[in-house]
Amino acid sequence: MSRKLLFIVLISVLCIQTKAQVAVTIDFSAVKQVIDGFGASTAWHGAISSAEADASFGNDNTNQMGLSILRVCISPGGTSTNTSWNAEKSNAQMAKARGAKVLATPWSPPATMKTNSNTIGGELLPASYAAYAAHLKSFCTYLGNVDVVSIQNEPNITVSYESCTWSPTQILNFCINNASSIGTPVMAPEAYNFDSKFADPILSNPTSTANIDYIGGHLYGTSTRSYPLATTLGKKLWMTEYYLNPDSMGTCMTMAKDILDCLYGNMNAYVWWYLRTPGCNLINTGGALKLKGYTMGQFSKFIRPGYVRVNGSYNSNPNIYTVAFKGTSQDVIVVLNLNRVVKKQVFNLRNANIESATKFVTSATKRITNDGTIACTSNSFTDDLEARSVTTYVLKRAPTAINETLTANISVYPNPAHDYLKLSTIENLKSVYITNLIGQKYVSINNPTSSTIDISTLLTGNYILTINQNGIEKHIKFIKQ
C-alpha cells in the first residue's frame, strides 16, 4: 500500500471515529413541553379484561406498559341499549383505576342528525349542532370519568365505515357556538393528516380558541412537525392515532422514531391505534405484550404524566436520536439506535447533578431488559448502544444536603391549608412552585415578594411545594382541604 493511500485510509478511519464520538448534550434547565402521556384505543374492542388492563395501564413490572391515556369510541347510539357505551365505560373505569386519562372520540353523530340519515359519510345537519353537543355531553356523563372529548375523528377523509365529513368552517362554527356546552375539555379537529387548515381557523378566532383545550391529529399521510400556533396559545398538542404493521423489529424502529419525532416536535401526548384488537395491536388477548408493546413501554413506563421535556441534541450522530425529560424525583433519557451495529455514545448533562443511569433496552433479543447501572462522572457517562435498539436511561440524582445549604430554615403553614400557604421567610428565594404528586405544575412564582401563596384555585388533595433558595431545592408536601 502506498504512503498516500495509507494516509487517506487513516484519515478516513479517524474521521469516522471522531464522528461516532460526538456527544449528546442535554440541558436540564431548558424546559420544553409538559408530557400528558402515552396511550392506545379500545374502539370496537368490547370490554377488555382485568389482566389486559393491568398489562396496558399497570406499571409494576416489565410486562406492563404503563400507558396513561385510553382513547374510547363514542358510538352513535344511546346508553340503555348500546353495548359499545357499556363496554367503553368498563374500559374507562379500569384505565382510570390504574391512573390513566380518558379521551373520548366520535366517528359519527347519530344518523338522525346527519344529511344522509346514515352513520357512514354525510355531514352534521346545521339544525343538529346543539343536539350533537348534547349527545357528546351525555356520553361523558354516562362514563363519568372522561378527561378530554373530541368533536370528530378524521373529518377530512371519505371512508366506507362509521364517519362524518366536516369542513374547516363547520368545525369552526361548532367550536364557536356549541363546544362550550359539552362540559368537558374539548379536542379538535383530529384530522387524518394533521391538516392545519382545520385547526388554523379555530386558533385564529378568540371565541373558538377559548372553547378548545387540545389540538389533536393523526400521522397518516404526513410527517411529524411542530405547530407553533397551537403551542403559543397554550393548547395541548396530542397525536391521537397511528399504527404500523407487522410486529417486527423494522416496524418497531420506525414506531420509536415516530414517537421521538412527536416528542421532539413539542407534542404532549402520543396515542397508538388499537390496544388489543388484532392487526396493529400492542397486546394480545389475555394481556401478553407484543414487540410493539415493549417498544411503547420504553417510553410510557418511564416518561410519566407531568414530566417535562428538556432541550438536548436530537440527532448528534447518524441514525441515533435522543430525547430527555425532567421528572419530579428522577430524569429520563430515551435513545434510538437505528444502526445495525453497536454504537458508543457519550452523554453530557448540564445543569443537573446525576449520580448514575439505570439502563433498560428493547431490541431483537431484549424486552425492556434491565441492563444494569452506569456511574456518572461530572454529569457525564458513556455507553454502548445495542444495534437496532431503544434504550431508556433512568437517571438517579445525587443527594443534596438541603438542610446544610439552605440559608434559612423555611417552614410552611398552615398544613392542611384552605385558601393560602404562608412561608416563614422569603429570604434569598429564587422561586416557589406547586405540583401535584405526578409533577403537573399549578402555581409558579419567580423571585417571590410576598410570603403568602394563593392556593384557592387548587382542588382538594395532596401537593408538593418546591422552594428554590440560592439554587438549592427543598420539597414540602402539603394537603389542600
**pTM higher than 0.85 for the full model?**
no
Q: What residue ranges do the domains of the chain occupy?
A: 23-30+309-397, 35-304, 404-480
Q: Give the whole-angstrom CA distance, residue 240 versus residue 39.
A: 8
Establish whether domains 35-304 and 404-480 are of one fold: no
Backbone angles phi, psi at 275, to 5 degrees: -80, -55
Whole-number Å distance between alpha carbons of 31 and 28: 7
Q: What is the CATH architecture assignment of 23-30+309-397?
A: Sandwich (2.60)
The set of cell numbers assigned to 110 is 347519530
SS3 content of the chain, % helix, strand, coil (to 5): 25, 35, 40
pLDDT in tens, the chain (481 residues): 555 554 554 445 444 444 557 999 999 999 999 999 999 999 999 999 999 999 999 999 999 999 999 999 999 987 656 788 999 999 999 999 999 999 999 999 999 999 999 999 999 999 999 999 999 999 999 999 999 999 999 999 999 999 999 999 999 999 999 999 999 999 999 999 999 999 999 999 999 999 999 999 999 999 888 899 999 999 999 999 999 999 999 999 999 999 999 999 999 999 999 999 988 999 999 999 999 999 999 999 999 999 999 999 999 999 999 999 999 889 999 999 999 999 999 999 999 999 999 999 999 999 999 999 999 999 999 999 999 999 999 999 987 543 434 445 677 878 888 888 888 888 888 888 898 765 677 888 988 888 889 898 888 777 888 888 877 777 888 888 7
Q: Which residue has the cell 436530537?
A: 314
Rounded CA gap, 145 and 156, in Å?
28
Which residues participate in catalysis according to the annotation?
Answer: 154, 241
Eight-state DSSP code of residue 161: S
| Fold (CATH) for 404-480 | Immunoglobulin-like (2.60.40)
Query: Looking at the domain covering 35-304, what would its CATH class be?
Result: alpha beta
